[in-house]
Amino acid sequence: MSDDLDDLIRRTDPDRWLSSRFVADVGLRADAVAIYAYDHELARAPRVASNPLLGEIRLTWWREALDEIYEGRHVRHHPTAQALAAVVARHGLPRTPLETMIDGRYRELDATPMTATEALDWARQTAGRAAEAVAHILDPRGPSDAAVDAGAVWAIGRRDPNLAPNPTAGLAAGARAGARRLGMRAFPAVAHAALALHPARTELGKRLRVTWAVARGRI
């Protein structure tokens, strides 16, 4: 992965970039960042499209990129698509989490406010599945699905900080329990969730919050 993707995530997704710094292996850290870059591209589709149809076209573009990756065909020349293909090849990453991340973005093409249930589904399908994918990369033998709720907590907190202390009944508890199941190798996949459950106002505060979470293995 080029340094360009790492710089992109540092600028656009500082919470997850910070958690990725706690992956000791440089190659695995780069692979985690590639997943965040993929999620970033999917998140852009609803935001930059001038109408829902164009947003659907952008999401379809990424679904077709997954087809190329998983069917062993030539992968289109896009830095994130190329990086994602390399990650899938190195780790045998299953397609389901990556495809579900696309599915979750379709709800954002609808301007109608999400219900609480829809917000939970959206959060689990997007950042939740991204956390699952990163957990699989960091510890392929571990329970990577345990990362989903922690990723969802972070997504909801980022979307609406007022929901962060208690996103919904049971979600925060599920996130904490899942994070404990992951173990230390995969914990950086969810360390950023600590910033949703325990918000920090300054950059130093964020770094200390995530460092403490990693040291304890708790969010």
pLDDT tens digits, the chain, 219 residues: what are they? 468 999 999 999 999 999 999 999 999 999 999 999 999 999 999 888 889 999 999 999 999 999 999 999 999 999 999 999 999 999 999 999 999 999 999 999 998 888 888 999 999 999 999 999 999 999 999 999 999 999 999 999 887 554 444 456 689 999 999 999 999 999 999 999 999 999 998 999 999 999 999 999 999
Closest C-alpha among 62, 33, 37 to residue 49: 62
Residue 210 pLDDT: 98
Query: Which tokens in the block code for residue 55?
Result: 């947003």
- Widest pairwise Cα distance in the chain: 46
The enclosing H or E element of 127 equals none
The pLDDT score that the predictor gives to residue 2 is: 66
Q: Give the pTM.
A: 0.93
pLDDT computed for residue 169 by the predictor: 62
CATH label, 3-216, candidates 3.40.50.880, 3.40.50.300, 2.60.40.1180, 1.10.600.10: 1.10.600.10
Q: What pLDDT shows up at residue 136?
A: 98
Please choose, from the candidates 85, 93, 92, the residue with its C-alpha nearest in 3D space to the C-alpha of residue 38: 85
Q: What is the predicted pLDDT for the residue at 90?
A: 97
**What's the pLDDT at 50?**
82
Give dist(CA 30, CA 128) in Å, integer.
Answer: 19
Which residue in this structure is represented by tokens 């899938």?
Answer: 88
The closest of 168, 138, 143 to 24, measured between CA atoms, is: 138
Distance (Å, whole) CA 76 – CA 87: 15
Do residues 84 and 31 touch, judged by C-beta distance below 8 A? no
